[in-house]
Amino acid sequence: MTVIPFDDRGQTLPIYIWMTGILLFVAFAFFAFAQAASARNGAQSAADAAALAAAQNARDELKDGLGAAIGKGDGWSDWLGGQDFTGDGARGAADELAASNDASVVGFEPSEVNGYPGYWAKVESKGTVGDSIIPGTETRHAKAEATAVIEPRCGVKPGADPKKAVEFECDGGESFDFDPDHFDPGDLPDASVLFSVHLAD
């Protein structure tokens, strides 16, 4: 009787092809998620930049308003407290920074966090997530949002009369005194000394 040897090579080949297919699918799926994460991170960076740019623009306006108000009554203390600004240039600043990060501002409005003024911005990436094995990614744009806050770093010295003298102290122990009758706006410290701008938690 002739014995036919058992050969399992014909059985392992389909398994090998099946496993290879699964590994390729997992690799492509991982790549698709990496694409999406990268697009999302880019959009978040653009949203952060847009919100911060808007708040920084308003911070500059606050400094200018403070300089113009000193020597004209006690209204300067409102500017020092982060009030009274119009924010006319804030949206333009947000649009510019978003564009430099390859995104567009699709939502924008003044905001308030813990009593401090700020701006909320929502952006959409100009580019799409890209082609992948996940349907629809080739037309999908990443979106993200952020809020930036303007927080005063200085306050009126205790006991100071804003009608008679301009005295305020800032974080870090710095203090400033100005004669309202002989004041030059150039005497004010940098806007970053007067107000901090940061993203909301």
Helix 90-100 / helix 9-69 crossing angle, nearest 10 deg? 150
**Model-level pTM greater than 0.85?**
no
Rounded to whole angstroms, the Cα distance separating 173 from 100 reads 37
Cβ contacts of residue 130 below 8 Å, gap of 6+?
A: 35, 39, 137, 138
Q: Can you tell me whether residue 21 is helix, strand or coil?
A: helix
- Residue at token pair 């009369």: 161
CA 64 to chain centre: 23
Rounded to whole angstroms, the Cα distance separating 15 from 19 reads 6
Q: Can you tell me whether residue 147 is helix, strand or coil?
A: strand
Rounded to whole angstroms, the Cα distance separating 83 from 151 reads 11
Tokens of 62: 């606050």
Rounded to whole angstroms, the Cα distance separating 193 from 173 reads 11
Given phi > 0 = left and psi -120 to 50 = alpha, else beta, which region is 166?
Answer: beta
Rounded to whole angstroms, the Cα distance separating 45 from 171 reads 28
Nearest residue to 32 (alpha-carbon basis) of 149, 134, 155, 173: 134
Residue 133 has a pLDDT of 46
Cβ atoms of 196 and 151 closer than 8 Å: yes
Sign for the pseudo-dihedral over CA of 177, 182, 185, 186 = negative
One pLDDT digit (tens) per residue for the chain, 201 residues: 555 555 555 567 666 666 666 665 555 555 555 555 566 777 888 999 999 999 999 999 999 988 888 878 777 878 888 887 888 999 999 999 999 988 999 999 999 889 999 999 999 988 765 554 455 555 577 889 999 999 999 887 766 666 666 778 888 778 888 887 788 888 888 898 899 999 997
Nearest residue to 67 (alpha-carbon basis) of 91, 55, 94, 85: 85
Q: Where are the beta strands (DSSP E) in 14-102?
A: none
